[in-house]
């Protein structure tokens, strides 16, 4: 079994981004009772997804790469709308 270190790093970054968001959720609440989306969360998440897409392209898994590019596009749209 071959280990894909770039994918592993991407997944670790995505997990870290969720930890960042979770910690921010406990710090601040919006007036509507929900939590704000942390810019750090989205930024780290985007970088993790980018690494997953890069690894998928480099290994020839184009269907997985396309899914990662779509997820990255959505995350970048969210990042463009977040303010801190």
Domain-located, residue 10: no
Split into its structural domains, the chain has a count of 1
Please state, rounded to an integer, the average pLDDT across all residues of the chain.
84
For residue 73, the enclosing domain spans 45-84
Domain-located, residue 74: yes
Domain-located, residue 11: no
What is the per-residue pLDDT across 19-52, written as a single tens digit (0 to 9) for each? 888 887 766 655 455 667 888 889 999 999 999 9
pLDDT value at residue 47: 93
Domain-located, residue 84: yes
Q: Three-state DSSP class for 84?
A: coil
pLDDT value at residue 84: 62
Domain-located, residue 49: yes
Distance of CA 67 to the CA centre of its chain: 13
Q: Enter the tokens of residue 36.
A: 């704000």
Domain-located, residue 27: no
Q: Enter the tokens of residue 70.
A: 């779509």
Domain-located, residue 39: no
Say how far apart CA 84 and CA 37 lie, in whole Å. Answer: 9
């Amino acid at each position: 079994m071959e280990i894909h270190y770039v994918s592993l790093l991407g997944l670790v970054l995505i997990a870290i981004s969720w930890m960042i968001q979770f910690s921010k959720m406990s710090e601040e609440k919006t007036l509507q009772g929900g939590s704000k989306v942390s810019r750090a969360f989205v930024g780290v998440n985007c970088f993790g997804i980018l690494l997953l897409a890069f690894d998928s392209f480099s290994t020839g898994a184009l269907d997985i790469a396309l899914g990662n590019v779509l997820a990255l596009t959505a995350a970048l749209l969210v990042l463009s709308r977040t303010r801190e």
